[in-house]
């Protein structure tokens, strides 16, 4: 077993805040006047190999006495302001160390966005063997880098690529270009697979609330101006719960009337077919050779899947010798914000600023080591740095490989709402509920607008007493129990209809039941229980096995606490309601949504259980 270091105290040495002249002077105050005095902006339309031109803003230090590394970000969200006015990126504290160290900043609009020409294709598929003027995001990044190296003055020929969320996908594709000038890569909460688990789907279930809320970001067919993505207001009118109860995906499609092509594409591809498989960014990981810093949040509601999946894929490919992972107690991209990033909802995880710790001790020293030869490469030099909830501390691990440092611990669902350490010897035992699409289980205590990021770790007492939520609770834990890795739920179920969803939630129940924190929740669309590509109907009232693997967890259940499991068949409107019939869900009308009797078995022959990876 590799050595595990427990970091109980976060120390801010400030040693990584590098100044351009390497003195011990206090950092300058970065304001508009400082930025104008130290940086110059230039704009270019960089030609791609097929003739498309991409808008690129380059901010170069005015210091001509030395060379500077390049930090590249490619984005679909626009590089405003265009023209002579400077961007306000310098206001974000995440960039301050780089500004003081005099990096060259390059921001680029991807195809069809902002000022760039060409057509936007969401998650444009990676082409493994490109010929002639064939293009993908990797080739666009390669052509951009070639141009920068030729045209931008006073660079040191080293490029770092970063991107968060959707930008993380573009950062991955840039690294997959194989350009040797890319010396460091940081994909943060990256989009990797929009069907398996990022943003729009999870195990086949459609992330309805987010999908509709994201629509303004994906644009209309036409742009009114070259510099603008057309304005589009979300179709959600009034209270979100009421809107989604009344409007099924088919109703929303009629409202949109073809104005959002990507919505229509999703509605035409409910299964994990070639449309989605070709957009899986992990297909390109064996091309990534640059040192890589992967960053994510334990409470990332959008791209937790992509973060963990990318790390595993890179570890398996073995193409990069330095692959690091950082998982903090953060919501989506909270580590890049201006706050402390040490709290979510009503829960505070640390008295120190975890955002400051991330900026000064993790991200900047990583890039500065590979782009400017700084001696230290940061707090992640050892491998994986993961924040364990419950005990609220960092653990630094050689690599995140739970199979190596954890062992399986199984808890069995039992009669009377118990979680038992042993299988039941009863021959016939089950718990049952009726899943009614007219009265779905809410995902959060306040299911209005917008979607609440706090649901990822929220109290779960708000669903207690519902007849359509099964609850199973363990005895009081006699000692601390650290869960590290993938939690797997194996349910034996029968349903009265031909399809249903299965939601499993793992909950940390405090002493005396004073709080019930969601540790991890996940969903499986039943028709995909055997295959993501080939859905299969249930035979009514036949017992079948449903296996649900959740995103990784790093959580310590403290002594005196209990583990609680909840099982239900809706999580609304976070995910769309299943009509509970084996029909095309995206074309289903209100009349097609019917109640379903569901039984979860916990007898000797059908031992439904939860498997926890416990750190040794």
Q: Are 358 and 337 in contact (CB under 8 A)?
A: no
Provide the pLDDT confidence category of residue 513 given band limits of 50, 70 and 90: confident
Q: Are 379 and 35 in contact (CB under 8 A)?
A: no
| C-alpha pair distances (Å), 503 with each of 24, 225, 548, 613 | 55, 44, 9, 20
Sign of CA dihedral 89, 347, 388, 485: negative
Sheet with 562-568: strands ordered across: 470-473, 562-568, 501-509, 516-525
Q: What is the pLDDT of residue 230?
A: 53
Provide the pLDDT confidence category of residue 1 given band limits of 50, 70 and 90: very low
Q: Read off the pLDDT of each residue in 21-45 and give the average, rounded to a whole number.
A: 80
**Is residue 521 classed as helix, strand or coil in its secondary structure?**
strand
Beta bridge mates, 611:
410, 488
**Residue 195 DSSP one-character state:** T
**Is residue 133 classed as helix, strand or coil in its secondary structure?**
coil
Distance CA 137, CA 110 (A): 8
- Rounded to 5 degrees, φ, ψ at 159 are -125, 135
| C-alpha pair distances (Å), 555 with each of 411, 456, 457, 520 | 16, 13, 12, 10
Q: Read off the pLDDT of each residue in 521-549 and give the average, rounded to a whole number.
A: 98
Q: Read off the pLDDT of each residue in 32-42 and give the average, rounded to a whole number.
A: 96
| C-alpha pair distances (Å), 232 with each of 217, 236, 258 | 8, 12, 13
pLDDT single digits (tens) 188-247: 999 999 999 999 999 999 999 999 988 777 655 545 455 555 556 677 878 899 999 999
Strands (E) across 22-118 are located at 39-47, 53-61, 68-75, 104-109
In this structure, of 110-124, 230-244, 278-292, 385-399, the range with the lowest mean pLDDT score is 230-244
Q: Are 521 and 571 in contact (CB under 8 A)?
A: yes
Q: Are 585 and 576 in contact (CB under 8 A)?
A: yes
Distance CA 318, CA 150 (A): 31
**The length of the chain, given as a count of residues:** 616
pLDDT single digits (tens) 319-345: 999 999 999 999 999 999 888 999 998
* Token pair in block for residue 171: 């950062």
* Token pair in block for residue 470: 């099964």
* Bridge-based pairing state of the strands 292-297 and 323-328: parallel
Structural domains of the chain, ranges and CATH numbers in brackets: 4-19+27-193+279-400 (3.40.50.1820), 405-615 (2.60.120.260)
């Amino acid at each position: 077993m590799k050595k595990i270091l427990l970091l109980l105290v976060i120390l801010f040495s400030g040693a990584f805040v590098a100044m351009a002249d390497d003195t011990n002077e206090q950092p300058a105050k970065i304001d508009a006047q400082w930025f104008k005095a130290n940086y110059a902006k230039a704009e270019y339309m960089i030609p791609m190999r097929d003739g498309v031109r991409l808008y690129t803003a380059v901010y170069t230090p005015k210091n001509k006495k030395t060379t500077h590394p390049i930090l590249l970000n490619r984005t679909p969200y626009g590089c405003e302001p265009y023209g002579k006015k400077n961007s306000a990126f310098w206001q974000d504290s995440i960039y301050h160390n780089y500004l003081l160290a005099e990096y060259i900043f390059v921001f680029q609009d991807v195809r069809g966005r902002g000022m760039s020409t060409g057509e936007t294709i969401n998650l444009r598929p990676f082409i493994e063997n490109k010929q002639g003027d064939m293009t993908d995001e990797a080739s666009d990044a390669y052509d951009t880098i070639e141009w920068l190296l030729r045209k931008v003055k006073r660079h040191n020929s080293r490029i770092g690529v970063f991107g968060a969320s959707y930008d993380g996908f573009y950062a991955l594709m840039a690294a997959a270009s194989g350009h040797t000038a890319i010396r460091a890569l940081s994909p943060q909460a990256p989009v990797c697979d929009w069907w398996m688990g990022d943003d729009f789907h999870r195990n086949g279930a459609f992330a309805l609330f987010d999908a509709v809320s994201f629509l303004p970001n994906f644009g209309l067919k036409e742009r009114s101006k070259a510099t603008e993505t057309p304005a589009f207001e979300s179709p959600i009118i009034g209270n979100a719960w009421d809107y989604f109860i009344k409007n099924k995906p088919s109703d929303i499609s009629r409202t949109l009337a073809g104005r959002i092509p990507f919505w229509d594409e999703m509605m035409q591809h409910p299964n994990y077919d070639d449309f989605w498989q070709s957009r899986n960014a992990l297909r390109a990981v064996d091309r990534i050779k640059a040192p890589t810093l992967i960053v994510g949040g334990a409470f990332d509601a959008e791209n937790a899947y992509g973060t963990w999946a990318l790390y595993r894929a890179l570890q398996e490919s073995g193409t990069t010798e330095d692959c690091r992972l950082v998982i903090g107690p953060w919501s989506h991209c909270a580590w890049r914000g201006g706050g402390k990033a040490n709290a979510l909802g009503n829960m505070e995880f640390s008295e120190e600023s975890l955002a400051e710790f991330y900026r000064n001790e993790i991200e900047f020293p990583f890039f500065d080591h590979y782009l400017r030869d700084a001696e230290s490469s940061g707090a992640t030099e050892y491998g994986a740095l993961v924040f364990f909830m419950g005990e609220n501390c960092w653990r630094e691990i050689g690599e995140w490989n739970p199979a190596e440092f954890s062992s399986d611990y199984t808890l069995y669902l039992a009669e009377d709402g118990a979680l038992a350490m042993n299988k039941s010897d009863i021959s016939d035992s089950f718990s049952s509920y009726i899943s009614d699409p007219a009265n779905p289980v809410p995902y959060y205590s306040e299911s209005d607008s917008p979607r609440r990021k706090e649901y990822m770790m929220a109290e779960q007492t708000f669903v207690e007493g519902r007849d359509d939520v099964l609850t199973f609770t363990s005895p009081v834990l006699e000692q601390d129990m650290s869960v590290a890795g993938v939690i797997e739920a194996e349910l034996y179920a029968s349903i009265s209809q031909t399809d249903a969803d299965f939601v499993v939630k793992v909950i940390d129940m405090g002493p005396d039941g004073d709080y019930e924190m969601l540790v991890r929740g996940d969903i499986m669309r039943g028709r995909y229980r055997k295959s993501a590509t080939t859905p299969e109907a249930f035979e009514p009232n036949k017992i079948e096995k449903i296996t649900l693997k959740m995103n990784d967890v790093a959580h310590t259940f403290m002594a005196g606490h209990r583990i609680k499991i909840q099982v239900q068949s809706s999580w609304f409107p976070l995910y769309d309601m299943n009509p509970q019939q084996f029909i095309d869900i995206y074309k289903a009308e209100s009349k097609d949504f019917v109640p379903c009797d569901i039984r979860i078995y916990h007898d000797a022959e059908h031992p439904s259980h939860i498997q926890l990876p416990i750190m040794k």
